[in-house]
Structure 1
């Protein structure tokens, strides 16, 4: 979408590329294992290449890159939306406290899937949290629950959809597709 705005695509109105108040971003995480702080800087400084590939019953290099990628994406989005004073347009919902089978990506037993549904339902009841840019940790931000925030954002998106539909010329492809789906 940002590329289209930079190219000045007509369907994105006269939006400036840095006008983040026009963006609504809902980021739903798939959950991640509880951060255990399992790598000690004093020990890892002495590992060498083989230690980074296989140490402490894991592959630290892979673990660090995997976690860093997710952390950096979360941090970047939070920083950009905060810098442009549009933090209410960005919602990140993620549980980073999963343990055991819940943290595994390949355990699809009925019991584990039911437990994951429970985690998701509980997560909706938790307070909205934002990344503290100083600590990198999520902290409650006094914006109600995740469920309430999703409802607020759904209303914003629904209103925007209605406005776009009203502005769209009759007979456009979007209108034809929408009408066809109503049948």
Structure 2
């Protein structure tokens, strides 16, 4: 997810430097940014621990507790959440929130939540999850709570992916035309 911020920074820098390859042709303003962020899925969000319990842990408790790695999970999820919140807020403030699409399944369980189980059964299960995810309502991050909620102003992930594809195609055609004239 940090790649999202790196890409936005790189493009912004190129625009500031006047690099013509990065200037938009079809879309104006910050609408030139179109971000499609595809997650690889995360384990089901569960409130496994509470503050009172965590306050009693020593070093080993933070490294490994009940089959989890709390400190690593916390840093990883915090980084992802912060980028999602930053991108969401930026796009909302600039009035182009439909140019940011994050698709992430955050309810994986068991072996499907593991990054190193490549059995046919598990891979087929992930394919099913992906197909079902396409049919889900697009979500956006609630900047107050940090949780994903359905974005009732948009359609399904599948519909939004099709819209993104059309926008990219239009931009490519406009660039091809503009560069023919130069």
TM-score (norm 2): 0.85
Structure 2 unaligned segments of length 5 or more: list them.
1-10
Q: 1:44 aligns with which of 50, 54, 59?
A: 54
Secondary structure, in 3 states, of the residue corresponding to 1:133? Answer: coil
What is the match of residue 152 of structure 1? 163
Other-structure match for 2:179: 168
Q: Please give the residue correspondences for 1:31-180 in structure 2 after superposition, counting only pairs within 5 Å.
A: 31-142=41-152, 143-169=154-180
Which is worse superposed, 131-140 or 5-14?
A: 5-14
- 8 Å CA contact 1:35–1:96 kept in 2: the answer is yes
Larger radius of gyration: 1
TM-superposed deviation, 1:52: 2.0
**RMSD, matched Cα:** 1.9
Aligned-residue offset at 1:14: 7.5
**TM-score relative to the length of structure 1:** 0.85
User: Tell me, which stretches of 5 or more residues in structure 1 are unaligned?
Assistant: 173-183
Q: Does the Cα contact within 8 Å between 2:138 and 2:155 map onto a contact in 1? A: yes
Aligned residue for 1:26, secondary structure, equals: strand
Secondary structure of the 1:72 match is helix
Q: What secondary structure, in the 3-state scheme, does the structure 2 residue paired with 1:79 have?
A: helix
Deviations 1:131-183 (A, max 9, x none): 1111111111121111001111110110000000111147x9xxxxxxxxxxx
Write the deviation string for residues 63-101 of structure 1: whole angstroms up to 9, x where unpaired: 111111111111111111111111011111110000011
The separation in 2 between residues aligned to 1:90 and 1:30, in whole angstroms, is: 17
Q: Is 1:10–2:23 an aligned residue pair?
A: no
Query: Matches of 1:28 and 1:59 in 2, distance apart?
Result: 24
Equivalent residues of 2:137, 2:156 under 8 A apart? yes
Number of residue pairs aligned between Structure 1 and Structure 2: 168
Structure of higher RCO (CA pairs closer than 8 Å, 6+ residues apart): 2
Instruction: Give the SS at the match of 2:151.
Output: strand
